[in-house]
């Protein structure tokens, strides 16, 4: 719901700009045929339906995506209205508390999405009900000829119906009035207005929250009527036009009504219409040409969207290490990348430290544990929030077992974590950076702490931490590394049977397929291979590379 609403919102804002431009253009092209104005409204309709359009450098729309979807979940949301000052102002009001579970913008769009849906239902419901009520009233009408009906119970002529439109006339119209009215309504049918107006109303229902769209709809209705008037009086002389304006006068409706259908004869702007009718002059070819060119230009400038700004490439932290930076610094006199800030780890009390260890272990350990778990962490920042403590730390966990006087690494992990602990140092909340946007999310999360700049470099410590764990395992098991003697002490058959992985392949490229299994030995960086021979015996060998 909120994503749909956001799409519509962005479309609405973009279309709003176009509406303003069209209002201006309508004023400029007052003397041009009103069909031009209707074409301009068609452009607005297009803008209101298409979420994405072609990008072009000449687009005059400030922004096609004022509220990007990413802004909703971002703690420091980034808006793109096209105006820096507006962006800054709004962004500061909607910036979020890093520890809240939802940003204010998220909450707002959720609620707004539902309110928007209710609005749509309200508008469509109103349109449906008023149409039904009208249809009820005109059941008592009699056919005059073709698709023309007469009715006692209506006070203004109108056009009703989508697929088989009918013209309804009040019984009180005179013969002369009838001629004018029929000509006008038939012009509506010829222009397919009985489709465009309801379509416009549907778009209005989707964008009901935008007052500019309401303005557009009202003006569209006027322009449609104007355009039909023009069609009718184009072939009339002066006195006939006078008669037509008299008909307009006698059929004008006293109240202002915004409706989807029907299209009523005396509905909108009667005074202006009469003025135009009396002052009508056939438009010249040049005027029409100017109008068409204006429409094309408006389409180019306003149907396209501004090109997305250039994005700075991410500097991948993991690929760059301290040695690389030092090397590049000595190689070039001016460093091209800014110096990286090293993390300054802080000490915490033993109880908190233990709780942090427990948390890292719970995340880093698999279900089936064969060996022993080792864990090491470093705390980057600690914050007291009332009774709770918020900790950001990096930690490594490794599961080692012993084999042949060497170590087998069964599982390892290295991660950055945030956690909230209560007064009893129990973890009540937990946070991990987003996969694929690790640096970004760490920066967002820690933006108002002094350690944000250094925290993003946490991967620099990966090798170090995993190394520490290996040393811990080594001292724990008291191993020194595999030797040939150690192999002799092993029971090859049992080793083979209990191995998790069995491979059937030509291990030594001699053309003979063997069955074997292998174990990685971390300390000596070798592989212990156990081959099942054809005669049922087992051999153990050491290899430097993985088979």
CA 452 to chain CA centroid, Å, is 27
Residue 140 binds to other proteins (criterion: CB under 8 A): yes
Put residue 481 in one of left, alpha, beta given phi > 0 → left and psi -120 to 50 → alpha.
Answer: left
Which position among 59, 65, 141, 305 is part of the footprint of other proteins (CB under 8 A)? 141
Regarding 155 and contact with other proteins (CB under 8 A), the answer is: no
Residue 150 contacts other proteins per CB under 8 A:
yes
User: Using the rule CB under 8 A, which residue among 27, 133, 139, 330 binds other proteins?
Assistant: 139
Q: What is the DSSP string of 31-80?
A: TS-HHHHHHHHHHHHHHHH-S---B-TT---S-S-SS-HHHHH-SS----
Q: Is 74 in the site for other proteins (CB under 8 A)?
A: no
- Taking the least distance from each CB to other proteins, the nearer of 142 and 501 is 142
Query: Which CB sits closer to other proteins, 154 or 391?
Result: 154
Q: List all residues 6 or more positions away from 190 whose beta carbon is below 8 Å from its beta carbon.
A: 231
Q: Based on the number of CB atoms within 10 Å of its own CB, is 418 exposed (0-12), middle (13-18) or buried (19 or more)?
A: buried
Q: Write the DSSP symbol of residue 346.
A: B
- Residue 145 binds other proteins, judged by CB under 8 A: no
Stretch that binds other proteins, among 55-63, 139-147, 190-198, 490-498 (CB under 8 A): 139-147
Verify binding: residue 171, other proteins, rule CB under 8 A. yes
Q: What is the CA radius of gyration of the chain?
A: 38
Output phi, psi for 326, to 5 deg.
-60, -35
Minimum CB–partner distance for residue 139 and other proteins (Å):
4
The answer to whether 81 and 87 have CB atoms below 8 angstroms apart is yes
Q: How far apart are CA 397 and CA 394, in angstroms?
A: 10
Cβ distance 504 to 513 under 8 Å?
yes
Binding mask 471-500 for other proteins (x = CB under 8 A): ------------------------------
Q: Does 142 sit near other proteins (CB under 8 A)?
A: yes
Q: Does 143 bind other proteins (CB under 8 A)?
A: yes
Q: With respect to other proteins, which residue has the nearer C-beta, 30 or 139?
A: 139
What is the layout of strands, in order, in the sheet containing 388-403?
A: 372-385, 388-403, 406-421, 427-431
Cβ-contact 17, 11 below 8 angstroms: no
Q: Which 267-296 positions form the footprint of other proteins (CB under 8 A)?
A: none
Interaction between residue 146 and other proteins (CB under 8 A):
no
Q: How many CB atoms are located within 10 Å of the residue 119 CB?
A: 15
151 binds other proteins (CB under 8 A): yes
Nearer to other proteins, 154 or 202 (CB): 154
Residue 137 CB, nearest approach to other proteins (Å): 11
Smallest gap, in angstroms, from Cβ of residue 125 to other proteins? 24
Contact 522, 408 (CB under 8 A): yes
Q: From the CB of 171, what's the least distance to other proteins, in Å?
A: 4
211 binds other proteins (CB under 8 A): no
Q: Which of residues 151 and 490 has its CB atom nearest to other proteins in the complex?
A: 151
- Strand intervals (E) in 404-456: 406-421, 427-431
At closest approach, how far in Å is the CB of 154 from other proteins? 10
* Nearest distance from C-beta of residue 281 to other proteins, angstroms: 38
Distance CA(11)–CA(6), nearest Å, equals 9
Q: Which of 97, 152, 307, 491 binds other proteins (CB under 8 A)?
A: 152
Which residues of this protein are in contact with other proteins, per CB under 8 A?
A: 139-143, 150-153, 171
């Amino acid at each position: 719901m909120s994503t749909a609403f956001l799409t519509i919102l962005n479309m609405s804002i973009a279309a709003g700009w176009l509406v303003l431009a069209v209002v201006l253009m309508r004023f400029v092209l007052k003397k041009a045929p009103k069909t031009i104005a209707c074409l301009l409204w068609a452009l607005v309709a297009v803008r209101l339906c298409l979420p994405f359009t072609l990008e072009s450098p000449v687009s005059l729309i400030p922004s096609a995506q004022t509220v990007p979807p990413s802004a909703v979940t971002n703690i420091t949301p980034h808006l793109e209205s096209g105006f820096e000052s507006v962006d800054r102002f709004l962004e500061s009001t909607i910036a979020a508390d890093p520890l809240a579970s939802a940003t204010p913008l998220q909450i707002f769009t959720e609620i707004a999405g539902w309110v928007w849906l209710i609005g749509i239902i309200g508008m469509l419901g109103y349109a449906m009900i008023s149409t039904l009520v009208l249809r009820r009233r005109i059941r008592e009408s009699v056919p005059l000829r073709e698709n023309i009906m007469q009715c006692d119970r209506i006070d203004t002529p109108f056009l009703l119906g989508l697929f088989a439109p009918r013209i309804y006339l009040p019984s009180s119209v005179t013969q002369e009035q009838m001629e004018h009215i029929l000509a006008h309504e038939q012009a509506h049918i010829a222009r397919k207005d009985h489709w465009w107006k309801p379509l416009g109303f549907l778009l209005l229902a989707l964008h009901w929250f935008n007052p500019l769209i309401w303005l557009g709809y009202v003006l569209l209705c006027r322009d449609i009527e104007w355009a039909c008037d023009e069609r009718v009086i184009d072939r009339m002389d002066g006195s006939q036009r006078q008669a037509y304006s008299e008909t307009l006068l006698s059929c004008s409706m006293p109240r202002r009504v915004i409706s989807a259908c029907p299209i009523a004869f005396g509905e909108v702007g009667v005074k202006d219409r009469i003025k135009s009718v009396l002052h009508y002059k056939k438009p010249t070819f040049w005027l029409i040409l100017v109008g068409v060119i204006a429409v094309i230009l408006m389409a180019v400038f306003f149907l396209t969207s501004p090109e997305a700004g250039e994005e700075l490439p991410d500097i991948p932290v993991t690929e760059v290490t301290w040695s690389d930076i030092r090397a590049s610094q000595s190689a070039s006199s001016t460093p091209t990348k800014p110096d990286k800030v090293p993390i300054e780890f802080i000490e915490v009390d033993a109880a908190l430290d233990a709780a942090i260890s427990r948390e890292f272990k719970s995340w880093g350990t698999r279900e089936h544990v064969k060996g022993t778990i080792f864990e090491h962490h470093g705390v980057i920042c600690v914050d007291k929030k009332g009774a709770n403590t918020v900790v950001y730390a990096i930690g490594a966990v490794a599961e080692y077992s012993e084999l042949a006087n060497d170590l087998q690494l069964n599982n390892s992990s290295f991660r950055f974590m945030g956690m909230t602990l209560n007064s009893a140092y129990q973890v009540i909340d937990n946070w991990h950076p987003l996969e694929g946007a690790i640096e970004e999310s760490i920066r967002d999360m820690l933006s108002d702490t002094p350690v944000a700049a250094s925290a993003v470099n946490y991967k620099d410590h990966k090798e170090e931490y995993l190394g520490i764990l290996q040393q811990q395992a080594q001292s724990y098991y008291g191993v020194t590394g595999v030797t040939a003697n150690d192999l002799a002490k092993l029971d090859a058959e049992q080793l083979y049977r209990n191995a998790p992985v069995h491979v059937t392949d030509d291990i030594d490229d001699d053309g003979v397929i063997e069955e074997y299994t292998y174990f990685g030995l971390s300390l000596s960086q070798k592989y212990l291979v156990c081959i099942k021979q054809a005669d049922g015996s087992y051999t153990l060998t050491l290899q430097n590379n993985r088979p």
